[in-house]
Amino acid sequence: MQLPFSAPRQSGALRAHLLTLALLLTACSDGTDHGNGGEPELLGAFAVSVLSSPPEMVSGGEARVGIEVPAALPLENVVVMLDGEDITGQFEARSDGHGLEGRVVGLVVGDNALEVSSSANNVTAASITLSNHPASGPIFSGPQQAPFFCATDRHLADLELGPVIDENCSVETVVSYKYLTEGGAWMDYPENGERPADIATTTTIDDREVDFIVRWERGSLNRFLYSIAMLSPAPQEDDDPDLSVWNQRLIYYFQGGVAIGHYQGGPSRSRALYTDGLAAGYAVAYSTGTKTGTHYNLELGGETAIMVKSRFVSAYGAPEYTVGVGGSGGGIQQYVYAQNHPGLIDAGVPQYSYSDMVTQTIHIGDCELIERWIDLQLREDPGGKWADWNNRSWLIGLNASNDVPNDVVSFGLTPWVPQGSSECTASWRGLSPLALNPHFGEAPGITPEQQAEVEWTHFADVINIYGRAEDGFAATTWDNVGVQYGLQALLDGNISPDEFIDLNWNIGSWKNEPDMVQEGCPFIIDLCFALTDDEPLYPNQIDPWSWRNATTATEDTPAPRKRADPGAIRAAFDSGMVQRGEAEIPFIDLRHYLEDELDMHNTIQSFVTRQRLLNHDGDASNQVIWFIDRNPDGSDYDNTMQAFAVLDEWVANIHANPDSPVGANRPAAAVDSCFDSDGELIASGETVWDGILNDRPAGSCTERFPPYSTSRIVAGAPITGDVFRCALQPLDDAIDAGLYGSWEPSAEEYAKLQAIFPDGVCDYSQPGVID
């Protein structure tokens, strides 16, 4: 769903054209006939725009409205009525152009008619409908999740909030003032207004040196906790904020993490009071509802972001522009919301990003399945090639290392496996159960009875989009029918045909939800200390592969594969849960190089997004990719503020040249680059990432920071990672096309392949199957 949104105020002119609903009013002068058959001369037309949100998505009983007035009509002749009540007094003359702007309050839930007219004679009135929704939501995300648990006292205290006051987890809105000490600590500003001796000062991006005092508003919107902070002089009246030191720019801080909802969320004080952004003069907006560690319903998250920004614009005014920032799931939200809600943010700094969440489940859902097969090979042959962890990359695509510790190995749970780890085991272990197992999840304050009632999967978290399958559980997109695991390893000679067949015979898939059971040790750590001799350790008690929830093979029958539920994939694409490459704002995609640590934020993901942008319209010039090396001691250089400065110039160019493409407005510094651990530039330019998305020799940044792959890419899938269900081709066609290189299956091998792939094997030269 693409939604119009308010345009920012910029360069002395209110760009309301993104949202403006033009309301044409026939205006006349004093009625004098000027020789046109008695018809009075028209003065022009009113144009009314809701600056805080789309008019159908107003929330919390308030909205900021702008009115452009014909140049010849005095402002005092304009009358604004709300459902028959004169609210002209809520409007003031705009500082730019000829018009009025005002914060409209007191809206009732439902439709509110706002009418603009003139006291001049012979003027026809016009109206706009403001559809107001409760501050507790929803607007468009559908029925709200139940059960839903309010924040604990500890999490409320993180934002210095009072207790929950109703069943919607609402809290009283609080405004207070903090100051930053010279030592970097946040303190309450004295109530008597006396300037503290230890207060820090800061210089904003518009070169003003001011005391580091912050006006901090907190409350609840859409059942989540929100925060708005900005530099401000010493305390004033709560309803009359002093905006004199605000730089007129807004940062929306999106937070990452992984969760399945049912909780109001624990806020991050450091993000709510983002010191670097505040120091530069930006206002900062934040919400636990736009933290993927609270939930991964990006429709609900987009709705929450709209409501938080609406609150900001209504209370403080329209910013020149809004820039997003945030890592991991915070980066995902920027890419997805830029696609789904144009105008919500005008630029973004996605850090450690992925294109979206749901397509990560495709290849990460393979992790435990592949790792189980490898570990069982080691059990039969401890000294074989799989004893070298590096070799696992042949199958999982992700990086692996003999030098990164593995907790499961360290605890002696799999004593036949040597020390080492892969990105699957070091970073992703447990994420497949979290996304796919209806029993594996929790929320603070939940009772055992409620725990048992909740379907703990990503797809149930977003049930309003995916719907229910015939088995009564949420419809899922996960599918591995026809996937030939390890195909590239076979072609490279790293595994034999026998191993290729054995892998694909035994890998199987995830069971359907009704057949799944709760996870064991080590996912539920207490079970690791309660092992008994009553039943086998593997997999009944110790099960790091979620083996009990996977399909298995027999000597005569391969392990069944899983097919996506009808309609689920289409829903993922149509709803925008899949980033389709349609984001048209400037991005500086920023990450430290974490491959050596087997961190889950793998480098290929920046280029996955770039390829999706290219696939959409052939143009990815709105995305710049910056990589930075890490310091061994952990004191990593952070060039986020450098990215903000470049984006500030980029957005200014867009405002000055609105008819030019986003990429055509890039400043000189908005170019692909890589940096050393001290932040010094290694290389920059259009070719530094060559060799990743093209066949050219590796660019200088590619050589310094090489990306890895995924299990589906090494199985033949495209780098975009968005093929949930592949198109199938008959096995005979695949053999005839040379898909297996020089290997020509024997009759026995052919029979086994036919048994594994009765419907055919993936044909990745064709688009993925969506319906």
Judge contact between 598 and 422, C-beta under 8 A: yes
The per-residue DSSP string of 172-239 comes to --EEEEEEEBTTS-EEEPPTT-PPPTTB-EEE-TTS-EEE-EEEEEEEEETTEEEEEEEE-SS---TT
Please state the rounded mean pLDDT for residues 462-489.
Answer: 98
The per-residue DSSP string of 295-348 comes to ---HHHHHHHHHHHHHHHHHHH---SEEEEEEETHHHHHHHHHHHHSTTS-SEE
Q: What percent of the chain has pLDDT over 90?
A: 89
| Calpha distance 526→520 (Å, rounded) | 9
> Parallel, antiparallel, or unpaired for β 213-221 and 224-231?
antiparallel
Which of 20-24, 96-100, 594-598 has the weakest average pLDDT? 20-24
Listed residue (704, 708, 691, 703) closest to 399, CA to CA: 708
Helix (H) or strand (E) holding 683: strand 681-684
| Calpha distance 563→561 (Å, rounded) | 7
Name the phi and psi angles at 379, rounded to 5.
Answer: -65, -35
Listed residue (721, 720, 739) closest to 729, CA to CA: 739
Residue 25 clears pLDDT 80, i.e. is over it: no
Please state the rounded mean pLDDT for residues 343-359.
Answer: 98
> Parallel, antiparallel, or unpaired for β 99-105 and 174-180?
unpaired
| Calpha distance 407→393 (Å, rounded) | 19
Residue 189 clears pLDDT 80, i.e. is over it: yes
Confidence of residue 30 (pLDDT cuts 50, 70, 90): very low
> For residue 57, how far is the Cα from the chain centroid?
21
What is the dihedral sign for C-alpha 80, 86, 87, 88? positive
Listed residue (234, 330, 219) closest to 264, CA to CA: 219
Q: Which residues of 5-25 are buried (b: 16+ CB within 10 A; e: fewer)?
A: bbbbbbeeebbbeebbeebeb
| Calpha distance 582→588 (Å, rounded) | 16
Residue 255 clears pLDDT 50, i.e. is over it: yes
| Calpha distance 476→767 (Å, rounded) | 19
Q: What is the mean pLDDT of the chain?
A: 93
Listed residue (617, 670, 664) closest to 642, CA to CA: 670
Residues 6 or more apart in contact with residue 755 via CB below 8 angstroms = 505, 557, 558
Per residue in 575-614, pLDDT (tens digit) is 999 999 999 999 999 999 999 999 999 999 999 999 999 9
Give Cα separations from 655 to 15, 51, 98, 350 (angstroms).
9, 17, 20, 22
Residue 389 clears pLDDT 50, i.e. is over it: yes
Per residue in 723-733, pLDDT (tens digit) is 999 999 999 99
Q: What is the reported pLDDT for 47? A: 87
| Calpha distance 489→9 (Å, rounded) | 55
| Calpha distance 731→717 (Å, rounded) | 17
Confidence of residue 40 (pLDDT cuts 50, 70, 90): low
> Parallel, antiparallel, or unpaired for β 174-180 and 213-221?
antiparallel
Residue 5 clears pLDDT 60, i.e. is over it: no
Q: Tell me the whole-structure pTM to 2 decimals.
A: 0.94
Judge contact between 506 and 558, C-beta under 8 A: yes
Residue 685 clears pLDDT 90, i.e. is over it: yes
Judge contact between 124 and 116, C-beta under 8 A: no
Give Cα separations from 252 to 238, 283, 538, 646 (angstroms).
22, 8, 47, 17
More confident residue, 121 or 465: 465
Output the six-digit token pair for 513. Answer: 């939800």
